[in-house]
Amino acid sequence: MVEAISKMTNEIVRITGGSVYGIWLYGSVVMDDFRMGWSDIDFIALTDGRISEDRAEKLLTLRQEMLEKEPGNPYYRSFEGIIADGNEYRSRAYSRLVYWGTSGQRITDRYVQDVFSEFELAKYGKPVYGNKPWEFPAPDRDKLVKAIRTHYDAIRKYAVKTDGSLYSCGWLLDIARCVYTLRYNDVIAKTQAGLWALEEHIFPDEAQLRKAVELRRQPLSFKDREDVKQWLESLGPTVQSYADVLERELHACAALE
């Protein structure tokens, strides 16, 4: 993975003509929680000026081109993030940026960063290119709580029933992380959040969370197993019971405000 990150960094710098101010990693890859088959290599690359249309087009499909050159390298498809002008990122007003995501890539003038990602980048972000300072402001307590409330609403709406994808058990880990954040005003990796919740006995039916942590640690070992798929499809009620706990935590948080 280290080699893939280095090669990707060098290619981004080359295509932009060396106008990259800095490139930072954040998320699971710097929080010792990267798991092939589940995790992404989250990054942000900021340039010293507006990205030209020609360079944006070359950056757009860079992941696929590198994978074609090294088809045996499993990491290139895992890169997710943005390549944007530094001043535009600071003002959050974009004229053109390159976005790489799970479902594809695009050149766009719109981008809103996830609050958890903002926090991880500000507190745990790791520079892999550039040595000039850059301040990533961390979201304040109110912004974190608001994001958790939004996530809670999504759980109630979209996770009543779960499907057979590995990410279905990720709802349990997400909820554990939300509870941790509410209590400690910090963000930790999903695996660590699950382990913390087990140690503190935060949720009912701990066997489900224990299995989710096991799957998170070795996702490729559980992929395409029919028994695992059936288990994942049955997790809706457990997710909702965990959401009950998160709801109580949110109420307790509101009472203290």
Judge if 31 and 72 occupy the same domain: yes
Q: Rounded mean pLDDT of 88-97?
A: 96
| Enclosing domain of residue 91 | 2-129
Q: Is residue 119 part of a domain?
A: yes
Give the CATH number, domain containing residue 15. Answer: 3.30.460.10
In this model, does residue 256 exceed pLDDT 80? no
In this model, does residue 100 exceed pLDDT 80? yes
Cα–Cα–Cα angle for 25, 31, 36, nearest 5°? 85
Q: Rounded mean pLDDT of 111-132?
A: 94
Tens digit of each residue's pLDDT (9 = 90 or more) over 70-87: 999 999 999 999 999 999
Residue 118's pLDDT is 95
Those residues whose C-beta lies under 8 Å from the C-beta of residue 133, and which sit 6 or more positions away, are none
Judge if 174 and 95 occupy the same domain: no
Query: Is the torsion defined by CA of 61, 66, 70, 76 positive or negative?
Result: negative
In this model, does residue 60 exceed pLDDT 80? yes
| Average pLDDT along the chain | 95
Judge if 43 and 101 occupy the same domain: yes
In this model, does residue 46 exceed pLDDT 90? yes
For residue 75, the tally of other CB atoms under 10 A from its CB is 21
Which two tokens mark 113?
């960063």
Q: Is residue 9 part of a domain?
A: yes
What is the secondary structure of 46-91 as a DSSP string? Answer: EESSPPPHHHHHHHHTHHHHHHHH-TT-SSGGGEEEEEEEHHHHHH
Q: Is residue 23 part of a domain?
A: yes
Tens digit of each residue's pLDDT (9 = 90 or more) over 218-234: 999 998 899 999 999 99
Q: Rounded mean pLDDT of 104-129?
A: 95
In this model, does residue 195 exceed pLDDT 70? yes
Q: Is residue 136 part of a domain?
A: no
Final residue belonging to a domain, choices 129, 164, 181: 129
Interhelix angle 62-69/53-60, rounded to 10 degrees, is 50
Instruction: Tally the domains of the chain.
Output: 2
Judge if 100 and 193 occupy the same domain: no
In this model, does residue 254 exceed pLDDT 90? no
Judge if 6 and 105 occupy the same domain: yes
Q: Is residue 44 part of a domain?
A: yes
Q: Is residue 134 part of a domain?
A: no
In this model, does residue 140 exceed pLDDT 80? yes
Percent of the chain with pLDDT over 90: 94
Of 132 and 197, the one with more pLDDT? 197
Give the CB-side neighbour count of residue 125, counting CA atoms within 13 A.
23
Judge if 160 and 119 occupy the same domain: no
Burial of 4 (0-12, 13-18, 19+ CB in 10 A): middle
Q: Return the residue matching tokens 């910090």.
A: 186
In this model, does residue 255 exceed pLDDT 90? no
In this model, does residue 211 exceed pLDDT 70? yes
Residue 235's pLDDT is 97
Judge if 249 and 149 occupy the same domain: yes
Judge if 110 and 157 occupy the same domain: no
Q: Is the overall model pTM greater than 0.85, yes or no?
A: yes
Residue 197's pLDDT is 98
CA 42 to chain centre: 7
Q: Is residue 135 part of a domain?
A: no
Final residue belonging to a domain, choices 129, 149, 180: 129
Judge if 96 and 163 occupy the same domain: no
Judge if 125 and 148 occupy the same domain: no
Judge if 157 and 250 occupy the same domain: yes
Q: Rounded mean pLDDT of 190-194?
A: 97
E strand or H helix at 6: helix 2-15
Q: Is residue 28 part of a domain?
A: yes
Final residue belonging to a domain, choices 80, 95, 129: 129
Q: Rounded mean pLDDT of 116-145?
A: 94
Judge if 108 and 174 occupy the same domain: no
